[in-house]
Every structure is written in C-alpha cells, then in structure tokens.
Amino acid sequence: MDEDGLREHVEAEDLVGLRRWLDGRPPHEVAAELARLDAPSMALPFRLLDKDRALEVFEELDPVHQQCVLTGLREKAYQELVEGMDPDDRARMLAEAPATVVRRVLAGLSPRERRSTAALLGYPDDSAGRVMTPEVVWLHPQQTVAEALVEVRTRGAEAETIYTLPVIDTGRRLLGVVSLRTLVLSGTEERVEQVAISSPSVAATDQAEAAARLMQEADLLGLPVVDSEGRLVGMLTVDDAIEVIEAADTEDAERQSAASPLGKPYLAASVFTLARSRLPWLLLLIVAATMTVNVLQFFEASLAEVTALALFIPLITGSGGNAGSQSATSIVRALAVGDVRLGDLPRVIWRESRVGLLLGLALALIGLLVCSLFAGWQLGLVVGISLIVVCTWAAIVGGGMPLLARKIGVDPAVVSAPMVTTLVDATALIIYFLTAHLILNV
Amino acid sequence: MDEDGLREHVEAEDLVGLRRWLDGRPPHEVAAELARLDAPSMALPFRLLDKDRALEVFEELDPVHQQCVLTGLREKAYQELVEGMDPDDRARMLAEAPATVVRRVLAGLSPRERRSTAALLGYPDDSAGRVMTPEVVWLHPQQTVAEALVEVRTRGAEAETIYTLPVIDTGRRLLGVVSLRTLVLSGTEERVEQVAISSPSVAATDQAEAAARLMQEADLLGLPVVDSEGRLVGMLTVDDAIEVIEAADTEDAERQSAASPLGKPYLAASVFTLARSRLPWLLLLIVAATMTVNVLQFFEASLAEVTALALFIPLITGSGGNAGSQSATSIVRALAVGDVRLGDLPRVIWRESRVGLLLGLALALIGLLVCSLFAGWQLGLVVGISLIVVCTWAAIVGGGMPLLARKIGVDPAVVSAPMVTTLVDATALIIYFLTAHLILNV
C-alpha cells in the first residue's frame, strides 16, 4: 500500500479508490493521513465511513483538525460525531473552537452530554478537570466482589475506563481504588474494602501535566480526580495522560528554541502563525544582542589597533553559546522529568562549573592551535584563556538560569539555547577583550 | 512532611526516623527520594522495608540506581529482589550492568526466571523484544468467554498485564486480541473469536520506540510482540511504552543541545561523564567555527577600512543562529511525533523560507534602527539587508537539515541549535560582507 494513497484519491475525487483505501485500515492510521490533507478536503473521507468508524477516526484527530472536519459536514453527521465523543475529548475540542461553534455544538447535545461537557469547560485551562472523564463506574466498600462485577457489567459500557475503579463512601468521598484485575483475580465473596488499595488523587483544578507525570511515575492506568472537598468528580486515564505529556514535551521543545508554543501540529499551522510564534523572542533577543554592539564599541580602539582580534569573535561567542546551551538543555530536561529540583541550585552550579572548566580546557587547546596558525601565539594565548573562562561561565549561566526561572515561577523551558547564546555573547566579548588587554596590552 | 527527610535521616543514620519516614509512603515517592542519595547510602533504607515494599520501590528505580542498591545488599536480600522483578525490568537492568554482575544475577535465579531473562537479553538493544514482558495470558478462539475468564483467573497472577489478552491459534500465531473489558462486559456464552478484534503487532526485533509510539497513537494498553514467523512471544505494556518514549524524548533533548545521550539521570552522572557526553560535539563545532576565521580573514581588508563593520558581527550571526535554531527544533519535534515525514522536504523548505523572510523583515527594521543610531544609515542599510537574507537562509537550513539527516539514516535530533548556529555563522558573515561590499564599496 502506498503511503500517499489517501491524498491522491481525495485530490482525484476517486470515491471507489478512497473507499478501498479506507477499508480495514486502523483508525489512527486513517487519522494520521487525514491530518496531512488540506483543510477543505478533510471532511470528504468521513462521508464514506460508517458511523462507528467515523467516530473512532474522529477521536484520533487533533482538535484543530476535528474542527476542519466538522466545518465540512452536514448537520446530521456533525451531530452524530459530536454526540458520540467522550465528554473530555469534546471539551478539549471546544476549548479551542470559536464561541459560535461552541454554542452550535452544545445546543445539539442531549441534556446529559451537555451537562458533563459544560462542567469540564468550567475548569481552568490545562487543569486535570479539563482532561478527565466524568463518566466513572464507582464502587462502595461494603459491596462484595461479585456485586462489584455486576455493577461494572451494568454501567461499564458508558465509562471510558473500567480498569481502575474508585471506591467512595456515601458522601462520594474517595476511599481508594480497586483495579479490574484485582476484582477478576479475587474471590467473589470478598468485600471491596478488603481488596481496595489506597490511591493518589489530584484535585480537578491541579495542573494536568503534574497529574500526568504522577501517573507515569506511579505506573497508574487511572487516577481519581476529586473536588476541593475530596469528592470524586472524574478519572484521568492513561491515554489522556500520555497525550498531556506529549503536548507538554512539544511545548518544551518549542520553548527551547525560543518560540511560543504553537498548540497545533506543524503542518496545520499557517506560515503567519509560525512566524508569530517565533517573532517575539527573536525581537527580544536582537534587542539584547545590541549589548554586544555596545561592548564592541567600547573596545573599538583595541579593534582598530589589532584588526586580527575581530577574526575570532564568532569562534569565541559561538563556543560559549554552545557550552551554555548544552548545560541549559540538560537542566531543563532534568527539571521536566523530576531528576533535579529547585533546592539543587548550589549542587547544579558546582557540577556545571567543573564540567564547563573541563570543556573549556579542551576547547582552549584547539583554539590555541588554530589561532596561533592564523595570527601568532600571543593572540593564540588570548583566545585559549578566553575559551576557558567563557566556557566555565557559560556552563554556570546555562545550568543556573532554568532553576532561577522556576524559582520566579516561569517555565524553565523558556531558558532556550538562543536565549543563553544571546546572554553569553556580550559577556564572552568582555572576557575576550579584557584578556586581550592584559596579554597584548591593547 | 519535609521534602529532605530521607536524606537527613540517612545521613544521621537515624533508623527510627527513617522507618517512620518510609512508612506508608507510595513506592514511586520513596524511589524518587532514594535516587537523590549518594550511591553508597542507597541500600540502607532497603534493609528496613519488608520484602514486597522493597520490591515495589526497587522496580521504580532507574537501572543505574538499582545497581547501587544491589551493591550494598547482602546475598539473600539481593537474590529476593532480583528474583521478584519482572523479566523485562530485570533484562533492562542487566543490559547496563558489568558482565560479572550479570553472571552473579543469572546464577541466583530459578531456571524458569533465568530462561525468560536470557531470552530477552538475546534481542538487540532498543528493540521491542528487550522491553516486552514474556509472561502472557493467551486465549484460544474456540473458548467461551466464561472459559476465558477462568483462564485469566488461573494464570493472571503471574502476568504483568491481563488487560489485553492475545488470541492465538494452535501454532501460537497471533489472531487478534480481546480486552479484559470486553470479556467482562460480554455474555459468558459467546466465543472468544466473536468478541476478539484485530490488533496491530510488532516484531521482537523492531525498534522499541516505534512500537511505543504506535501504542500511543492507537491508544493501546498492550501490544502483542511476535517473532519472524508471526508467533506470539510477549506483550509490550503501556507503562513500558511510556518509559521508552520518555527516554527517547530525553535523548532527543540531549542531542538537540549537541550532547551525546547520557542514558542516566542528570544527578547520577559524574562530572566527567557529563563532560565526555558534551565534548565531541563541542570539538567538532569549534573546528567548524574556524570557517568563520577564514571568512573574516578573507574580508580583513574591509574590516581594517571600516572597523565599525565588526561591531555588528555578533548581532548578525546571533540572529541567524536563533532563526535557524527555531526552524530546526520545530522540524525535529514534528518528525519525532510524526507530524512531518521525509517526503515533506519541499513543503517544509517552502514554508520555512517564507517564515524566515517574514522574520527577517521584522528583524531588519530593528537592525536598521539600532545600527543607524550607532554607525549611520548606510551601515544600517547593510545590517538590515543582511538580516533579511540571513534569516531566510537560516530558516531554510534549519528546516531542511533534520529531513536530510533522516534521509541519510541519521537521527534528526542531532541537528541541534548549536550545530545550526555554527553552520549558519560562516555563511551569515559572507552575506554580511558581500552586502557591505555592494553598498559601502569596501
């Protein structure tokens, strides 16, 4: 089967070929191919899928693509898709839709579905409440395992997950959880309270990312979500957790290149959207870069005297920027996965300063060689010493800044390679020219 | 409870306080705190935990920390921990252990456990076979749902997961899967073949990362792993998949800063290990950076004539590097999550060239202003025009290189911000001096 089949069939409006292509393909593959079509064509394949398949494929799409599809469908197909979605997926789609679309969608839902979606939309952006499923099968501690299994059979079809079953008291307060695995493997006469285990839980207003990382660390398939009184309001499922973590990592990757998070797949973003997400940081950085102009102007007399000094400017600033970026990236990632914490600042600085010194010594050897070749050993000495000091300094700055960002409540991922590079550039030049002043006396 | 409790108790050798601290804490939290101790102290808390808790905590540790713990334990406690691990976790730990440790561990296992671990170790590094669990409960198509549930109850306790149950024929070939959810919700007289669904599967020699991403995209809790004949050999579980993806993303993050993957948590790596993982790229990049010395030497006459030209070198190379890094990072991430594919090269280049042009126009305005202030409008014009050309060029290079890397079979993540910056530096200088030559006639 050729990879580009779908696109070609859609462009040729070849319905027979399209139907054959769609036939029996797993939903996530159909969704991945759909996401690569131009927006106006995205609805076409949906007219050929039966209701259940259409829903499966639809749920695999990103919210931005879901909207493209809905725009191209007639009222009836539209309502069927939206009514069939899980409330949390629906809320995620609506969170990014214009107000008119939200009204139209909510109006078409059954009262029950409308209620649960509206409840989810009431939680803050990026909160656990937004991504949880409110459709939960819960158990009571006095039930037997046999009764619990009947409960699961009766009400399980509606719920998104039945693998982690919360146990609640009469006041709906969370007591613990039982896994379906435990229920199946336990004796039928045992009571739920005997087989239940305590479980971490999160508040609906907590950050979804923190909740997802907790699920990942504790290897949970489901995490109960409670309100401020400790009452069960929903469950976070592992597939939603994975999506939250992937989105957070993508956001970090974007921040790390000094771009604002796009919030949508690369090819779904217009050229203007891409430029807009990157421009603010670039502007900030070019303004910061004018510091380098100031520094160089201050040393213009030395430059005029020894023009050869200018030859090594990009080499020095570049190496400093690279060493600093390495430190920043490894600390940002260590913070994201929880290997390093706020209190580790002194430890990180001490480690990075030694790493920077080692790297600086190695680079200084190369710098000394290259520079002596081009401009004599005296300038070589200047470049070598500068590289040692600059690399040590850059590693300290790169390692310390993400922790300082976290301390003042800013996402550490904004400490990007471009940001470190720009900040290190000016100080690297000062170090370079001061060293030149000491050694060459210019 | 104070965050640093464990460390303090261990340092003070306060066993009573330590026992109290350990009591009732979830395993993943104990593991996270343990990971922050110095290697020689890591075994101490294990002597206070009962056997089951010790195993739960131990399984949450990274392989490198697991080894620290084992080194500090007596033979009996050691064997209990190793025997109790899941075969896949054990294989992961042994893969990173010295040969003597591997022999000692394998010798202490029961024949059955030894066999399954040795089988896993036979698969290539980073393959699905290495991370799968070989302990699987499988079903036959002719069984009724009731019989299947009995099978699950009988053999489920040993298996790592019973939520996705593979269905096999008499030749052990994979026919499909049934979820435990389906079994529980179906009528007991239905046959397994009636409720089974087809499932994707991977070969044991396939890349673990690709298998994990497939599970993520298709929202699977379990993925059957087969041999080259299509016979079932194990299952990949969602918690292993999440770990594989996290490790791959950390590797990408490290590559993105031009460092070799560490393969262990930041604080677990020595200063020398950190320096060694970062040095090769830094050396390569500083050698590449000597190109900038060549370029500048070529234009040394222009520099000597108009010293002010040197003032804007870091601003131009910096902006080009930043724009290029942004493009590279967004394409590397888009490739990793599957939003962009190899065939998209022309589309990506065309998009990035327009984004780069837009960004260049905006930066040129600032550059023109700043430069006119410092050095007059003529030089301002040179800087402005250079910024437009450099940004466009940098975005094309940054967007295109990850795809070219993938094309020649190299991990696109090696196209790091430092790498793009270094490569763009020399060409940016050429563009700058040629523009100066045209406009200022130097």
B311 → closest Cβ in A238, A296, A425:
A296
d(CA B418, CA B396): 16
Whether A355 sits inside 8 A of B278 (CB atoms) is yes
Are B208 and B322 found together in one domain?
Answer: no
Quote the crossing angle between the two packed helices B238-256 and A313-336, to the nearest 10°.
Answer: 160
- What pLDDT, on a 0 to 100 scale, did the predictor assign at position B385? 96
Q: Which of A251, A286, A305 is the last residue of a domain?
A: A251
CB-CB neighbors (< 8 A) of A254 in chain B: 329-330, 333
- Average pLDDT in the A410-416 region? 80
Are B302 and B413 found together in one domain?
Answer: yes
Q: What is the CATH number of the domain that holds A69?
A: 1.25.60.10
At residue A153, what are phi and psi to the nearest 5 degrees? -65, -40
Whether A317 sits inside 8 A of B318 (CB atoms) is yes
Are B17 and B73 found together in one domain?
Answer: yes
Whether A242 sits inside 8 A of B246 (CB atoms) is no
- Average pLDDT in the A45-73 region? 83
Distance from CA of A362 to the nearest CA of B (A): 8
Are A33 and A118 found together in one domain?
Answer: yes
Q: Does A149 touch chain B (CB under 8 A)?
A: yes
Whether B358 sits inside 8 A of A271 (CB atoms) is yes
Are A37 and A167 found together in one domain?
Answer: no
Residue B328 near residue B401 (C-beta atoms within 8 A): yes
Opening angle at CA B56, ends B51 and B59, nearest 5: 120
Q: Identify the band that residue B349 occupies on the pLDDT scale cut at 50, 70 and 90.
A: very high
pLDDT at A261 over 90: no
Whether B253 sits inside 8 A of A318 (CB atoms) is no
Number of domain units in chain A: 3
Are A317 and A218 found together in one domain?
Answer: no
pLDDT digits 0-9 by tens, A285-336: 888 888 888 899 899 888 888 888 988 999 999 899 989 988 998 898 888 8
Burial of A46 by CB count in 10 Å (0-12 exposed, 13-18 middle, 19+ buried)?
buried
Q: Identify the band that residue A109 occupies on the pLDDT scale cut at 50, 70 and 90.
A: confident
Chain A, chain B: beta-carbon pairs less than 8 Å apart: 354
Residue B261 belongs to a domain: no
- Nearest in space to B322 (alpha carbons), one of B295, B369, B356, B351: B356
- Average pLDDT in the B325-346 region? 87
CB hemisphere CA count around A268 (13 angstroms): 22
- Nearest in space to A308 (alpha carbons), one of B297, B434, B442, B428: B297
- What pLDDT, on a 0 to 100 scale, did the predictor assign at position B290? 86
- Average pLDDT in the B317-334 region? 89
Residue B166 near residue B223 (C-beta atoms within 8 A): no
pLDDT at A101 over 80: no
Are A236 and A175 found together in one domain?
Answer: yes
- Adjacent-strand bridge partners of B179: B164
At residue B223, what are phi and psi to the nearest 5 degrees? -130, 120
Q: Does A325 touch chain B (CB under 8 A)?
A: yes
- What pLDDT, on a 0 to 100 scale, did the predictor assign at position B2? 44
Q: Does A32 touch chain B (CB under 8 A)?
A: yes
d(CA B249, CA B240): 14
Place of tokens 């990026």: A126
pLDDT at B431 over 80: yes
Whether A184 sits inside 8 A of B149 (CB atoms) is yes
d(CA B223, CA B240): 11
Closest CA in chain A for residue B241: A242
Distance from CA of A153 to the nearest CA of B (A): 5
Q: Does B303 touch chain A (CB under 8 A)?
A: yes
Residue A5 near residue A21 (C-beta atoms within 8 A): yes
Mean model confidence pLDDT for chain B: 87
- Adjacent-strand bridge partners of A165: A178
Give the residue with greater pLDDT, A50 vs A227. A227
Residue A320 near residue A359 (C-beta atoms within 8 A): no
Are A236 and A280 found together in one domain?
Answer: no
Are B230 and B289 found together in one domain?
Answer: no
Least confident segment among A322-336, A373-387, A409-423, B256-270 = B256-270
ipTM of the prediction: 0.73
- What pLDDT, on a 0 to 100 scale, did the predictor assign at position B36? 80
- What pLDDT, on a 0 to 100 scale, did the predictor assign at position B3? 47
B positions 84-143 inside 8 Å of A (CB):
none
Whether B289 sits inside 8 A of A318 (CB atoms) is yes
d(CA B57, CA B71): 16
Place of tokens 């409330």: A87
The top-scoring range by mean pLDDT among A111-115, B98-102, B376-380 is B376-380
Give the residue with greater pLDDT, B204 vs A111. B204
Are A115 and A220 found together in one domain?
Answer: no
Residue B383 near residue B316 (C-beta atoms within 8 A): yes
pLDDT at B241 over 80: yes
pLDDT digits 0-9 by tens, A62-89: 888 888 888 888 777 787 888 888 888 8
Q: What is the CATH number of the domain that holds A212?
A: 3.10.580.10
A254 → closest Cβ in B221, B278, B329:
B329
What radius of gyration do chain A's Cα atoms show?
29
Residue A162 belongs to a domain: yes
Q: Identify the band that residue B362 occupies on the pLDDT scale cut at 50, 70 and 90.
A: very high
CB-CB neighbors (< 8 A) of B23 in chain A: none
Whether B321 sits inside 8 A of A246 (CB atoms) is no
CA dihedral B184, B185, B190, B193 (to 10 degrees): -80
Whether B340 sits inside 8 A of A421 (CB atoms) is no
Closest CA in chain A for residue B358: A275
d(CA A287, CA A37): 39
Percent of chain A's residues with pLDDT above 90: 35
Closest CA in chain A for residue B319: A286
The count of other CB atoms within 10 Å of the CB of residue A280 is 12
- Average pLDDT in the A152-157 region? 89
Q: Which helix (H) or strand (E) holds B178?
A: strand B174-179
Q: Which helix (H) or strand (E) holds B44?
A: none
CB-CB neighbors (< 8 A) of A317 in chain B: 314, 317-318
Least confident segment among A85-99, B231-245, B300-314 = A85-99
Are A427 and A330 found together in one domain?
Answer: yes
Q: Which residues contact B25 (CB under 8 A, 6 or more apart)?
A: none
pLDDT at B257 over 80: no
Whether B300 sits inside 8 A of A282 (CB atoms) is no
Distance from CA of B14 to the nearest CA of A (A): 22
Indicate the residue type of A221: L
CB-CB neighbors (< 8 A) of B359 in chain A: 275, 278-279, 282
- What pLDDT, on a 0 to 100 scale, did the predictor assign at position A383? 94
- What pLDDT, on a 0 to 100 scale, did the predictor assign at position A217? 85
Are A94 and A198 found together in one domain?
Answer: no
Distance from CA of A315 to the nearest CA of B (A): 6
pLDDT at B260 over 80: no
Percent of chain A's residues with pLDDT above 70: 99
Q: Which helix (H) or strand (E) holds B233?
A: strand B232-237
d(CA A88, CA A225): 13
Q: Identify the band that residue B4 occupies on the pLDDT scale cut at 50, 70 and 90.
A: low
CB-CB neighbors (< 8 A) of B188 in chain A: none
Q: Which of B225, B254, B283 is the last residue of a domain?
A: B254
pLDDT digits 0-9 by tens, B185-217: 998 899 999 999 999 999 999 999 999 989 988
Q: Which helix (H) or strand (E) holds B305?
A: helix B300-305
The top-scoring range by mean pLDDT among A275-289, A305-319, B346-360 is B346-360
pLDDT at A9 over 80: yes
The top-scoring range by mean pLDDT among A80-84, A375-379, B149-153 is B149-153
Place of tokens 């104990």: B30
Give the residue with greater pLDDT, A28 vs B140. B140
- Average pLDDT in the B97-106 region? 76
Quote the crossing angle between the two packed helices B63-71 and B75-84, to the nearest 10°.
Answer: 150
Q: C-alpha B97: how far from its chain's center?
A: 20
- What pLDDT, on a 0 to 100 scale, did the predictor assign at position A4? 53
Whether B257 sits inside 8 A of A363 (CB atoms) is no
- What pLDDT, on a 0 to 100 scale, did the predictor assign at position B307? 85
Residue A46 belongs to a domain: yes
- What pLDDT, on a 0 to 100 scale, did the predictor assign at position A415? 77
Residue A129 belongs to a domain: no
Q: Does A271 touch chain B (CB under 8 A)?
A: yes
Whether B258 sits inside 8 A of A325 (CB atoms) is yes
- What pLDDT, on a 0 to 100 scale, did the predictor assign at position A3? 46
A positions 342-381 inside 8 Å of B (CB):
343-344, 347, 351, 354-355, 358-359, 362-363, 366-367, 370-371, 374
- Nearest in space to A357 (alpha carbons), one of A393, A400, A382: A393
Whether A290 sits inside 8 A of B315 (CB atoms) is yes
Place of tokens 């305005």: B365
Contacts 24+ apart (CB under 8 A), A402-408: A402/A328, A402/A331, A402/A332, A402/A335, A403/A331, A403/A335, A403/A340, A403/A342, A403/A344, A403/A345, A403/A348, A404/A345, A406/A335, A406/A342, A407/A342, A407/A345
- What pLDDT, on a 0 to 100 scale, did the predictor assign at position B232? 93
Closest CA in chain B for residue A312: B293
Closest CA in chain A for residue B264: A339
CB-CB neighbors (< 8 A) of A163 in chain B: 163, 180-181, 221
pLDDT at A224 over 80: yes
- Adjacent-strand bridge partners of A166: A177
pLDDT digits 0-9 by tens, B40-63: 788 888 888 888 888 888 888 888
Residue B138 belongs to a domain: no
d(CA B155, CA B426): 65
- What pLDDT, on a 0 to 100 scale, did the predictor assign at position B37? 82
CB hemisphere CA count around A223 (13 angstroms): 30
B339 → closest Cβ in A152, A266, A426:
A266
B positions 222-261 inside 8 Å of A (CB):
238-239, 242, 245-246, 249-250, 252-254, 256-259
CB-CB neighbors (< 8 A) of B308 in chain A: 300
- Average pLDDT in the B115-121 region? 78
What radius of gyration do chain B's Cα atoms show?
29
- Average pLDDT in the B329-354 region? 88
Residue B133 belongs to a domain: no
Q: Does A150 touch chain B (CB under 8 A)?
A: no
Q: Which helix (H) or strand (E) holds B202?
A: strand B202-203
Q: Does A289 touch chain B (CB under 8 A)?
A: yes
d(CA A358, CA B137): 53
d(CA A71, CA A331): 43
Q: Does B156 touch chain A (CB under 8 A)?
A: yes
Q: Does B384 touch chain A (CB under 8 A)?
A: no
- What pLDDT, on a 0 to 100 scale, did the predictor assign at position A19? 86
Q: Does B69 touch chain A (CB under 8 A)?
A: no
Residue B87 near residue B113 (C-beta atoms within 8 A): yes
d(CA A10, CA A13): 5
- What pLDDT, on a 0 to 100 scale, did the predictor assign at position A112? 78
Whether B425 sits inside 8 A of A318 (CB atoms) is yes
A329 → closest Cβ in B254, B275, B313:
B254
Mean model confidence pLDDT for chain A: 87
Q: What is the CATH number of the domain that holds A407?
A: 1.10.357.20
Residue B212 belongs to a domain: yes
3-class DSSP state for residue B166?
strand
Distance from CA of A331 to the nearest CA of B (A): 8
Residue B150 belongs to a domain: yes
Residue B290 near residue A375 (C-beta atoms within 8 A): no
Q: Which domain holds residue A76?
A: 5-122
d(CA A311, CA A270): 40
Q: Which of A72, A91, A122 is the last residue of a domain?
A: A122
